[in-house]
Amino acid sequence: MNKKIGFFAFAVVFVFFFLSAVYLHPFGEPSETDMDDYFIDNGQNETGANNVVTSIVFDYRGYDTLGEATVLFTAVAGVAVAFRRLKK
């Protein structure tokens, strides 16, 4: 009985995802592109980097990268804690 309810919920969620993917905007035509067009046009003047993705990662959205580096540091610290040697 419990498993049947689980299957039903999974089927409902999957059908919802599938229909939303089918009725999304057509592939290859993003709807809102103003911000990205600004980055492509002005990113080279403002940061001097040829690679627009790098200028977004480290300059326009530097806070995102800072949080990401902190998450990586915390994950390494967690692995070190999980495998630490216990005192006999």
Partner 1 sequence: MRGMSKIVRTITNILYSFIIIFGFYIIMHGHLTPGGGFQGGAVVASAFALLVVSYGALKIKDMLKAKNFSVSECSGLLAFIGLGFLGIGTVFFYNFLAGKGGLFGNVIYGINPGDLNTAGVLPLMNIAVGIEVLSGLTLIILYMFNANNPKEEK
Partner 2 sequence: MIYNFPFIAAVILIGLGVYACMFKRNLIKIVIGISLIESGVNLFLITLGYRKGVAPIYTNAPSGASMVLPTPQALTLTSIVIGVATTALMLSFVMTIYKHYKTLDARKARRLKG
The answer to the question of residue 85 lying near partner 1 (CB under 8 A) is yes
> Least CB distance from residue 8 to partner 2, whole Å?
12
Residue where the block lists tokens 């530097």: 62
Q: How many CA atoms lie within 13 A of 2 on its CB side?
A: 0
Contact code string over 27-66 relative to partner 1, x by CB under 8 A = -----------------xxxxxxxx-xxx-xxx--xx-xx
Find out whether 39 and 56 touch, Cβ atoms under 8 Å: yes
The answer to the question of residue 44 lying near partner 2 (CB under 8 A) is yes
User: ∠ at Cα 57 (54, 62), nearest 5°?
Assistant: 135
Find out whether 49 and 57 touch, Cβ atoms under 8 Å: no
Q: Which residue, 9 or 69, is less far from partner 1 as judged by CB?
A: 69
Contacts with partner 1, residue ranges (CB under 8 A): 44-51, 53-55, 57-59, 62-63, 65-66, 69-70, 72-73, 75-76, 79-80, 83, 85
